[in-house]
Structure 1
Amino acid sequence: MPDRPEIVCICGSTRFMDEMRAANRDLTFAGVIVVAPGEADELITNEQKAALGALHLRKIDLADRVLVVNPGGYIGESTSREIAYAHATGKPISFTDPV
């Protein structure tokens, strides 16, 4: 038995928050520690959006692997940046839908 549960960072477009919540629930019930994007409404400033993006990269640093929630294969600009960061740091990446 491992010393600690696996840590998974969920990435994906905020348009898929329902799907990310479902993935979070499923992983949590499977005994996984989940870190996920913070929920923010559309009224955040560009500065706040940049700060949240930087914070999410730190979440990737904490994770053992990354799960990209990408219904229909959709990957936006921010998620693409997160995937590139995860690749650069050697994190395994999986996707909910084919890309």
Structure 2
Amino acid sequence: MLERPEIVCLCGSMRFAEEMRAANRDLTFAGVIVVAPGEADEGDEGAGEVVTAEQKAALDALHLAKIDLADRVLVVNPGGYVGESTRREIAHARAAGKPVSFTDPV
């Protein structure tokens, strides 16, 4: 029987969506199963549907469940940036005993 591939959950600000996509691609080509935050327009750009507070809360809870599924967490943090939501996700991962690494020094 084949060994299950490692599962990595990406965390980070969606302002770094392109960097997250690149990390997802690189990890996937390395044979890793990647789970990532759901992308949703929060209205900042003025295009697309605006996410309601209830939808945002549901997405946040779903992402914590993705962290629970993962073997480890990779924080995509260009320039060392870690926002409030990402800090909460890091704390959740560490409380669950998940290793946490960063793409950039913090």
> If the TM-score is normalised by the length of the shorter chain, which range does it land in?
over 0.9
Equivalent AA in structure 1 for residue 37 of structure 2: P
Alpha-carbon separation, structure 2, partners of 1:86 and 1:2: 27
1:22 partnered with 2:22: yes
Which residues of 2 match residues 36-51 of structure 1 at below 5 A?
36-42=36-42, 43-51=50-58
SS of 1:34's partner is: strand
Give the Å deviation of 1:2. 6.2
1:5 partnered with 2:12: no
2:68 paired residue number: 61
- Consecutive unaligned residues in structure 1, runs of 5 or more: none
Q: Which runs of 4+ in 1 moved over 6 A?
A: none
Q: CA RMSD in A?
A: 1.2
SS of 2:31's partner is: coil
**Percent of counterpart pairs with the same letter?**
83
Q: TM-score, normalised by structure 2?
A: 0.91
User: How many residues were matched structurally?
Assistant: 99
* Largest Rg, 1 or 2: 2
Alpha-carbon separation, structure 1, partners of 2:2 and 2:83: 34
Give the Å deviation of 1:31. 0.2
